[in-house]
Amino acid sequence: MTKEDLRIVYMGTPDFAVESLRRLVEGGYNVVGVITMPDKPMGRHQDQLSQSAVKKYAVEHGLKLLQPVKLKDPDFIEELRSLKADLQIVVAFRMLPEVVWAMPHLGTFNLHASLLPQYRGAAPINWAVINGDTETGITTFFLQQEIDTGNIIQQVKVSILDTDNVENVHDKLMMLGGDLVLETVDNIIADNVRPIPQEQFASEEPLRSAPKIFKETCQIDWACGVKRTYDFIRGLSPYPAAWTTLVANGKEQMLKIFKTEKEFCTPTAPVGTVLLDGKKSMKVALKDGYLNLLEIQLAGKKRMHIEDFLRGFHAEEVCVR
């Protein structure tokens, strides 16, 4: 079988999934269908529809597109079966029922943004950075019943720099993911795949999960110290963004923080105290030093560098909590 003969159905939703789809299409692989999420209502009156990044790409390139509300819907199952896929590829989509993932005779494989079995779940990139990891990677694996537990096909490792935020790591993994998806497909075509159970990749390090991130997940705990708070902020930057409550002149406002700089020392102020140095710097006291705030955003305002923020900021006593 050649790549032109292999019938592929591709499933994905966000930008992260577009790169692998683009590589398949531009590489001449036979993508017979694309599955993505239904359009989402948006706007104040929920009267506008937002298309997924994968849908936009599929429409632009004339690909067969399906947007099922329910993946067990009989009409969807019938239409999916009519595509006669040999292989299905899933990148940043949703949990599939067995009737879907077991359909192709060559199986369904997923591209996951971690070194499985570490960081099973919805937000592996965020949690790797939040936890201060210095290495992560991508994994292709065949789907089975339990989420993110299937036999591993291939893995690629990548370093996480101390200055990386989620956006940097996301983009690295997205590009490497495009390479790995094509390599995995080529190995399947060549019958050169020998999947390995995830248990064989286990180490003495405890397994960490990557649960979905909600607004309350993003609230900063200033009691954690400089390093952990620094990692927490970059692990949520630029989206959905770590936040805190800024108290200035008795007024409370939500403050998102996107970029900071570590300063280890013995602080001279209680944890959560905000120190201002004229119109140049703003830093928060922690138990083992300070975090210099470099890029922030007050609720209702635009994101800005600290110097720009301080030009219009006037307060005597300031703290965060």
Whole-angstrom distance, CA of residue 274 vs CA of residue 291: 10
User: Is residue 115 annotated as involved in ligand binding?
Assistant: yes
Residue 196 per-residue DSSP state: B
Both tokens assigned to 75: 């009409």
Nearest Cα neighbor of 3 from 193, 179, 194, 185 is 185
User: Is residue 114 annotated as involved in ligand binding?
Assistant: yes
Contact status, residue 89 vs residue 11, Cβ threshold 8 Å: yes
Please name the residues in contact with 72: beta carbons below 8 A apart, sequence gap of 6 or more.
97, 99
Per-position b or e across 10-26, b if 16+ CB within 10 A of its CB? bbbbbbbbbbbbebbbe
Nearest Cα neighbor of 55 from 11, 108, 89 is 11
Residue 271 per-residue DSSP state: T
If you compute the radius of gyration of the chain from its CA atoms, what whole number of angstroms results? Answer: 23
User: Is residue 68 annotated as involved in ligand binding?
Assistant: no
Beta bridge partners of 55: none
- Please tell me the total number of residues recorded for the chain in this structure: 321
Three-state DSSP class for residue 307: helix
Residue positions forming the annotated binding site: 114-117
Residue positions forming the annotated binding site for (6S)-5,6,7,8-tetrahydrofolate: 114-117
